[in-house]
Structure formats: C-alpha cells, structure tokens
Structure 1
Amino acid sequence: MNNMNQMMKQVKKMQEQMLKTQEELATKSVEGTAGGGVVTVIVNGQKKVTSILIKPEAVDPDDVEMLQDLVLTAINDAMTKAEELANKEMGRLTGGVNIPGLF
C-alpha cells in the first residue's frame, strides 16, 4: 500500500508540473514567416495566434489569392514551431516519453 501512496504522490507532482508548464507555454511565442518575411505570424506555446504582421509590399489588390497563401503558410509554419516547443517543454516532464492525449 505504501508503494501505491508514493506513486499517487508522484502522479500528483507530475500533474502540478504539467499545469505549470502549460501556463509557462502561454508566455512563450514562436514566429512563422512566408514570402521571405513579408508575412509573419506569432503563435504562443498554447498554439494561439497572437499576431499577424503583413508588410505593405505583400498587399496586391489584383492578387489577393497570393496574400491568402502567404498567411496560410506563415500560420502553418508558426503552428509547427509551437507544437515542437510544446513537445520539448512537456517532454522534460515525461522524460521524452510521448504519452498520448497529454498535449
């Protein structure tokens, strides 16, 4: 029974560390870009888009489709980096073991 109590304490400690890490991820950000930096998207570690920056030279009223593609590419780039950041931070808690549904 003592082993069970010790295991429960470890699980509770890990849960607390995970919550703290998730809160910290909200304060970290990554940047995704497209078109050589004419479109930049900032995403926090919780995969929330916090900013989209578009340089004037990216705006061509005759080619809106190109701007849409650039924004989409920059968002996907930032989301990939945010996922990598979250995996890295959470991996510290799990010793690199990927626990399905954890993040």
Structure 2
Amino acid sequence: MFPGGMGNMMKQIQKMQKQILEAQERIAGMEVEATAGGGVVKVVVSGRKELKSVTLAPEVVDPDDIETLQDLIVAAVNEGMHKAEEMAAREMEKITGGMPRIPGLF
C-alpha cells in the first residue's frame, strides 16, 4: 500500500513535522511591511502576526480628522496580517508540497 511500508511513511511524517517546526521558527522571525493611504501609514507585522510598529507621516496627523487616521491604521494592520498569512502559507508550501492541511500537524 505504501512504498517502503508503514515504517518509511512514519519516518517521512516525522521528517515533515521537524521541517514544519523549523519553518514555524523561521516564520516567527520574519516581518512584513504594509501601507495604507498611499504610504502615509506604515505597519510592520511579525510572522507571529504581532504588530511591531506603526509609522505615521506627519502630514496625516490632523486632530480634526482622527477618524480617517484610525481607519488608515486599521487598513494597514489588516493588510500586514494578510501578508503575514500569505508568507506563512508560502513557507509551509515549501515543505508540504501542496498536501492538504492536516489540523494539528500544519
């Protein structure tokens, strides 16, 4: 049924698990940058999906327009989170080769 038998399959699974853990560590150390409002709001998000920084261009800070500023920050953070998800998926794809995702494994 399995080339090389069940023992070989288990070795392959263990190897993949190790690679996945290594990839998760690499991903955690990576960062993505996203912007909103034509670059006036910039965020950096880690591979762990943590917001690392927010940078606001001086011309965007207007006390009379705080709602727009808040919306831009939310948009930039959401874009950063989306990019971090894509980055993680690409890294896992390198290991799994397109295998369907197995909950609890990867």
* Aligned match of 2:64: 62
Shift of 1:98: 3.7
C-alpha separation in 1, matches of 2:95 and 2:87? 13
Q: With structure 2 as the length reference, what TM-score do the two structures score?
A: 0.87
Query: Size of the alignment, in residue pairs?
Result: 102
Deviations 1:16-42 (A, max 9, x none): 100100000112111110111111011
Alpha-carbon RMSD: 1.5
* Aligned match of 1:76: 78
Structure 1 stretches of 4+ with a deviation exceeding 2 A read 100-103
C-alpha separation in 1, matches of 2:100 and 2:62? 44
Amino acid paired to 2:16: M
C-alpha separation in 1, matches of 2:89 and 2:68? 32
C-alpha separation in 1, matches of 2:99 and 2:83? 19
Shift of 1:100: 4.8
Once the two structures are superposed, the pairs formed by residues 1-103 of structure 1 within 5 Å of their partners are 3-101=5-103
Amino acid paired to 1:8: M
Identity over aligned pairs, percent: 53
Of stretches 43-52 and 63-72 in structure 1, the one that deviates more from structure 2 is 43-52
Amino acid paired to 2:22: K
